[in-house]
Structure 1
Amino acid sequence: MNNKDFDMGIVNDFFKYDYHDRGMIKWQGFYLSDHTAALNKKNADLNQEYRYKPQQTLEKITSILAEAYSQRRQVVIQLNELDRNNVNLPDVTTLIHGYNANEIVIDSNKFVRISDIRNIGYV
């Protein structure tokens, strides 16, 4: 068959009137159980709500920080930061590795301002 004999009208009519695309239904059989488990876990992680804990006073925060630093105890820190969806960021579980006047040093040599801490407690 050459290009002269090829009738585009037949092809266009087939896709316009006879062919019915089933959309995503035809792809559902390709998902394996480990794929769906990974997708479900990712979805659960994304939908998990991080509740606001009450704002603690500066005195309470600094006393817990000082005790955690001196006794090498792990703490759970909730920061006053929101992600782009206005959801509170996950709590940070860490040791306090050091401090200066307005900041503490947590894991990976990350500095956190004391004024950014909403709530802190022991693990």
Structure 2
Amino acid sequence: MTLSLHSEFSAPDRAVVHVGGRLDAMTFGELDEAMLALLPQLPDGGTVVIDLTGLTYISSAGLRSFAKVRKTMRAHGGHTLLLNPQPQVRKVFDIVKAVPVNEVFTSTQELDAYLDRMQRQITEGDDEA
């Protein structure tokens, strides 16, 4: 599955970006390019809402893309909100929040393999991961 993106301005100071499919090393560039075009259209203090309802998988490359968006928005006094993550994607965010990832994994490949396993366990019904 590939990445799907759709954005809309729900208010003059708020953009909603719908992200679907897989956000990984093969597709993160699409999100980065879309955000590079979108974010300058928001005024200082604006908000970008990233709707993750359709996102079925995220790797460390996708996490970096979201971190870039947050950094850009903060630099302009704005906010980034993540909405409706699927359980397996939420698990990745929980892992990253709870564990200083750069201190645990020896490489991006090792991190991605771990995140892949965790998401697969949840989508296959074993959420005790």
TM-score normalized with structure 2 length = 0.20
Q: TM-score, normalised by structure 1?
A: 0.21
Structure number with the higher strand fraction is 2
Which has the greater radius of gyration? 1
